Every structure is written in structure tokens, then in C-alpha cells.
Amino acid sequence: MGRRYAFGVDLGGTNVRVVLGDDEGRILARLSERTEIGRGPEGISKQIVRMIRSMRVKGFRLDEAEGVGIGSAGPLDLKRGGLMNPTNIPYEFVPLVEPISDELGLETRLLNDCSTAVMGERFFGAGKGMDNLAYITLSTGIGGGVYVDGHLLIGKDGNATEIGHFTVDYDGRLICGCGKRGHWEAYCSGANIPNYVDLILMEREQSEVELSLLSMIRRREGKISARGLYEAAKAGDRLALEIVDQIGRLNAVGFACVNDAYDPSLITVGGSITLNNVELVMNPIRRYISEHSRNRIPEIRVTPLGEDVVLYGALALIFYGIS
Ligand SMILES: [Zn+2]
């Protein structure tokens, strides 16, 4: 049997993960490290090369791999093959494709991490054989990847589906990491849920806040993290449950926009906020989406690929390419 092999890379501002996998979706080896952002613009490609070289699988030689697929947090400059002013990395441009392919002699392909994830879903996950498919991540940030009529949406710079920057609050009470006001990610992402919780608590009666588990968490941690909020909700705290419901309403608005713009048959959902709080995240989206979406509501489910969805997509990027 001619099994095909490739390396898949999930590159984030915090961690970089590398796998060796085959075209049937088997992961043969994996490595994870903190992203080395302090070693110059070339440091990250050097780290990825070192990680790939250090992966040992019995009977496997590096030159048997067909290539290196990279799914990376944006913004990307796909024409130059690297990251352009990345959010958590202090360089104007981080080259990836050229130094990695030169060093390893392997074809190297780069794509936005959420676009990579939807590829993973289509070839290895819940979207097999589907031509109209969206993937949404609710994590530190919010992002999406979309196929329409079998085509992966890319855009002029590779940022066609930056859905986290949909405006969901035209009053613009909170400012997004991108600097603009009212964006979905400014309210519902893991990094920004603490700001939204503060905003809601300011509008509440202080006596009600004092009685809630949330004020205890705030005394202990200074700010109420996404984790703290969902833990209080799981413990049955009424105010925490109400806030989780409000976050769910905004998520439903975002999902409705995705549904009305792209008309998918299936939306799969991933990211740490979702994977750690499946019921609390998914139930309000399913409950409220039809209040906002004009198009027929698609199936909405958690990705079966879990935290590995980008890695599977990075493999698919080499085996199947972008269509
Ligand atoms: Zn934004």
C-alpha cells in the first residue's frame, strides 16, 4: 500500500504543534513547544525545522514526506509566504514558506489556521464530501473557515473569513484587539470575555453582584476569566448563567451572519471555549440563531477532531491542496 505522509503544523502565538500523519488521518508522531518569539523573525521557521527533524518514527525517512502544511494564526501575507504584523509576535514580517522548504527540501504550504481547520473538517472530520461547510472557532480569538460550492474562500490577502470582526454591537461599547469597536471577538472570545463580564456587571445591582459566585472569583483573581465564568455557571450560579446566555445570544448573531453570508449545510464548532463548555456554548447558539438568520438553519455541531482540527487540515493542505 502506498501510504502518503506529510507534516502538519499548527502555529499560534503561544504554542507551535507539529505532527507527522498519513492520508488516512493517522497521526504517527506529535510534538508541542512554546512558540519561540524572541529569536528574531527567522527564529520561528528554525524552530519548526528543528521540531520536524527531531521527530523519529521507526522505518520513516524525512524524504518520504510529501511536504509541510502550516495553519497559522493571521494576519498572513500569502504571496510572501509568511506572517504580516502578527498580533503576539514583535516582527513586521515572519518568513515561513521559503526558509522551511529550503532547509528541508520539502514543499511547504501556508494557510490561515481557521481555513486550515475547515480543510481538516472536510477531508478528515464531520464535513466529508460536503461542498458547503463552515468551521467556527471560539477560543482566545474567534475565527472561521468556509467552503462555498466546494471552493475554500481565501481573499486578496488570505483573510476572506475574518468573521471574529463582524460587528455585533453597533454601539461599540467594547474595543476589539484589532482596534475597532463592537466586534464579535471583543465580547465573546476567551481573551475578551472578562471585559464583557465587567460591562454586564456594571449595569447590574451591586447587591445582586455581591451575592453571586462571580464577586468571589473577582476578589480571588482580580478579573473574571472565561474559565471562572463558565465554572460559576456550571456550579449553577444564576448571574453567571445569565451572562453565559448573553454571550450565547451574541454568538448566535455571529453564527446567523455566517449562515446568511455563506449558506452552509453544516457548521462545525471548535476552540477551547467550546470544547471545555460544550452545553453552555452550543445550547444558546442553537436556541437563538433562528431569531437572527434568514437562511435555512444548518446542522450545527462540535468538531469531532477537537484540538487537532488545524493539524488535520495542515495535512490535508499537502495531500489535497486548495480547491
Ligand atoms: Zn476586530
**Ligand 1 centre from 85 Cα, in Å?**
15
List the pLDDT tens digit at each of the 323 positions of the chain.
458 999 999 999 889 999 999 999 999 999 999 999 889 999 999 999 999 999 988 888 888 999 999 999 878 899 999 998 877 778 899 999 999 999 999 999 999 999 999 999 999 999 999 999 999 999 999 999 999 999 999 988 788 899 999 999 999 999 998 899 999 999 999 999 999 999 999 999 999 999 999 999 999 999 999 999 999 999 999 999 999 999 999 999 999 999 999 999 999 999 999 999 999 999 999 999 999 999 999 999 999 999 999 999 999 999 999 87
**Ligand 1 centre from 262 Cα, in Å?**
20
Residue 2 confidence (pLDDT): 56
Neighbouring residues of the ion ligand 1, judged by CB less than 5 Å: 165, 176, 178, 180, 183
**Ligand 1 centre from 203 Cα, in Å?**
24
pTM as predicted:
0.94
The number of C-alpha atoms within 13 Å of 216 and in the hemisphere containing its C-beta is 9
**Ligand 1 centre from 164 Cα, in Å?**
7
**Ligand 1 centre from 266 Cα, in Å?**
25
**Ligand 1 centre from 246 Cα, in Å?**
19
Spell out the residues 6+ positions from residue 79 whose beta carbon is closer than 8 angstroms to its own.
Answer: none
Spell out the residues 6+ positions from residue 26 whose beta carbon is closer than 8 angstroms to its own.
Answer: none
Look at strands 82-84 and 93-95 and give their pairing.
Answer: antiparallel
What's the rounded Cα separation, in Å, for the pair 211 and 50? 53
**Ligand 1 centre from 175 Cα, in Å?**
8
> Torsions phi, psi of 146, nearest 5?
-140, 135
